[in-house]
Structure 1
Amino acid sequence: MLTHHDALKALPKNSQKKPGMVQMAISKIAKLYAIEKQIKPLNAEQRYLIRRKKANHYWMTLKSGVMIK
């Protein structure tokens, strides 16, 4: 399974050093996967509530294309 580090390594060498939109997007996706891994054993309602609380910000920034910390 590929990790976000693998995805970053696949980028051209000159873009690996300075954080850009691609790196920020990969980082946010990695955070979403981490949240999903944590909530996997919970029931559907609990997962929904945690997603709304923790993951909504990452989804919204990815969806809008605006990468803001």
Structure 2
Amino acid sequence: MPPPENGNLPISFVDLIAVDRLGPNTFKSNALAFGPANGNRTYGGHVYMQAAYAAAQTIAEVEV
């Protein structure tokens, strides 16, 4: 199957939001930001979700 016209390939949600930890508060995306307009724009929801996920990784677990 050829890739879609905009160059985006479907990947799982887990892979889409995955980040690598570079430092205590620094993260790098594993997936390119989703670009619905031929790659010259970015879907903000993707970037927002990665930011929320990365922020959650900086909080210590609390035992209840």
TM-score (norm 2): 0.38
TM-score (norm 1): 0.36
More helix by share: 1
More strand by share: 2
